[in-house]
Amino acid sequence: MSEIVSGALPDALGHYGPFGGRFVPEALMAALQELSEAFEASRNDPEFAAELADLQVNYAGRPSPISEARNFGERCCGGARILLKREDLNHTGSHKINNVLGQGLLTRRMGKKRVIAETGAGQHGVATATIAALMGFECRVYMGRVDTDRQALNVARMQLLGAEVVAVEAGSATLKDAMNEAMRDWVTNVDTTHYLIGSASGPYPFPKMVKQFQSVISAESRAQMLDRFGVLPDAVCACVGGGSNAIGSFAEYIGDDDVALYGFEAGGSGVETGEHAASINGGSVGVLHGTRTFVLQDDDGQTVESHSISAGLDYPGVGPEHAYLAQTGRAHYEPVNDDEAMTALDQLTRCEGIMPAIESAHAIAGARRLALRMLAERPDHRPTILVTVSGRGDKDADTAMRYFGVHGDVDATTGRMS
């Protein structure tokens, strides 16, 4: 992991070992180069840092607190100490604001007036539409038709913010198809437009840049842990779709060998059923959307549709740095299926009065599983597990009501369906 910590990886062409790179049409190469240069220049620019810090504090409401989930820890996790990094409390309701503030400032520096974005759950679309309003950019958001239907609240928010939302009908009409359409727009309008990718995936420099802007999560949480608890956590947990909140949650701990890193992928109906979005656990190495990583694909390399109750995790690839962290064993990735995630959503909401997004509920479920496993392995050690609540659950109220209406109530103590 020293290569990641020292900055030797990614290399100059964006490779993390065998992963990453820039598999895009040549027409985009100049824009990726321009973006790389603007991003690298910003990293050494105190003025940029000050401007970003001001927005983080006075606009987005950072730092986000760590909340101790005492009830949930006692009732559902065998008494483990469960700490929640509350990205759900950010302006716009998720971690996505962290990245769009940074990329928004870069867009302005590059002199571009128009931003486009892809979105699954709509959280990144809302965040992009928000900074477009703030910074005066024209904004178009591509969203799969399936997702505009299941995340109607966020579609309305984007439209109220002045963004144009394009429902993409192609392919599976979910996040991957929205990304294809955004790429096509970018190829056509690259002179005037910045493609504001929200995931820690895509061609270089996006994985590195999104990580940088999301690493505020772990920079804060690491200091908060030491200040308030006097220790680092035994494990850091986050949900993984493309992997932006997870890479931001892991970033500052990668060099802390005693801190285990756990990413929880969307297991859908179960990895064994083939109906899932767990690219690392159920996929294979391939190239998708400009990067080499783990991909859900068939025998020929055609992308396979992913399945998850969570629109934000419903993506058949994953950021290349996660692929590298998985391959090297520095981080562990496990699937959490729809039912486990919804059970955790119900548990956390009732125990703590905190309703996580369904995406984040995957991390909560995974943390619970991990806590019980750690306690079984070492009964004398009460584990401290830090979980990123990447977003709030308001947008998922309809989906959750439909789910619980179909599946009945959940016993908050046992996590079993009644």
Nearest C-alpha neighbor of 60 from the set 73, 47, 51: 51
Q: How many helices and strands in the chain, by DSSP H and E?
A: 17, 14
What is each CA distance from 134 to 7, 105, 300, in whole angstroms? 33, 11, 45
Site string for other proteins, 332-371 (x = CB under 8 A): ----------------------------------------
71 part of the interface to other proteins, by CB under 8 A: no
User: Which segments of 378-396 does DSSP mark as H helices, in order?
Assistant: none
Q: Quote the tokens at residue 206.
A: 């996006």
Q: Quote the tokens at residue 194.
A: 């910045």
Distance CA 318, CA 304 (A): 14
Tell the smallest beta-carbon distance from residue 247 to other proteins (Å).
22
Contact 363, 387 (CB under 8 A): yes
Tell the smallest beta-carbon distance from residue 194 to other proteins (Å).
14
Q: Is 164 a catalytic residue?
A: no
Tell the smallest beta-carbon distance from residue 28 to other proteins (Å).
8
Give the active site residue among 118, 181, 265, 352.
118
Contact 67, 354 (CB under 8 A): yes
26 part of the interface to other proteins, by CB under 8 A: yes
Q: Quote the tokens at residue 265.
A: 């992928």
183 part of the interface to other proteins, by CB under 8 A: yes
Give the range of 37-45, 87-95, 289-297, 391-399 binding other proteins by CB under 8 A: 289-297
290 part of the interface to other proteins, by CB under 8 A: yes
Give the range of 71-79, 95-103, 173-181, 400-408 binding other proteins by CB under 8 A: 173-181
Nearest C-alpha neighbor of 246 from the set 278, 214, 281, 219: 214
Give the range of 122-130, 133-141, 176-184, 359-367 binding other proteins by CB under 8 A: 176-184
Which is nearer to other proteins, 73 or 120 (by Cβ)? Answer: 120
Q: Is 390 a catalytic residue?
A: yes
Site string for other proteins, 31-50 (x = CB under 8 A): x-x-----------------
Q: Is 118 a catalytic residue?
A: yes
- What would you measure as the largest C-alpha separation in the chain, in angstroms? 60
Give bridge partners of residue 263 from the DSSP assignment.
238, 333
DSSP annotation of 266 reads: E
Number of residues in contact with other proteins under rule CB under 8 A: 41
208 part of the interface to other proteins, by CB under 8 A: no
273 part of the interface to other proteins, by CB under 8 A: no
Distance CA 295, CA 304 (A): 8
Distance CA 129, CA 73 (A): 36
Which is nearer to other proteins, 71 or 180 (by Cβ)? Answer: 180
Q: Pick one of 153, 166, 167, 187: the residue that binds other proteins (CB under 8 A).
A: 187
Contact 271, 304 (CB under 8 A): no
Which is nearer to other proteins, 323 or 357 (by Cβ)? Answer: 323
- Adjacency order of strands within the sheet including 81-86: 66-68, 81-86, 384-389, 235-240, 260-268, 331-337
Q: Pick one of 2, 6, 7, 13: the residue that binds other proteins (CB under 8 A).
A: 13
Distance CA 127, CA 26 (A): 29
Contact 137, 110 (CB under 8 A): no
Which is nearer to other proteins, 30 or 401 (by Cβ)? Answer: 30
189 part of the interface to other proteins, by CB under 8 A: yes
30 part of the interface to other proteins, by CB under 8 A: yes
Tell the smallest beta-carbon distance from residue 296 to other proteins (Å).
9
Tell the smallest beta-carbon distance from residue 195 to other proteins (Å).
12
Give the active site residue among 42, 85, 96, 308.
96
Give bridge partners of residue 288 from the DSSP assignment.
291
Contact 266, 306 (CB under 8 A): yes
Which is nearer to other proteins, 155 or 179 (by Cβ)? Answer: 179
Distance CA 332, CA 329 (A): 6
Which is nearer to other proteins, 127 or 288 (by Cβ)? Answer: 288
Q: Pick one of 4, 9, 10, 21: the residue that binds other proteins (CB under 8 A).
A: 21
Nearest C-alpha neighbor of 39 from the set 204, 189, 245: 204
Distance CA 113, CA 69 (A): 43
Tell the smallest beta-carbon distance from residue 97 to other proteins (Å).
27
Helix (H, G, I), strand (E, B) or coil at 127: helix
25 part of the interface to other proteins, by CB under 8 A: yes
**Which residues are catalytically annotated?**
96, 118, 390
List residues binding other proteins (CB under 8 A): 13, 21-31, 33, 170-171, 176-177, 180, 183-184, 187-191, 284-290, 292, 295, 297-303
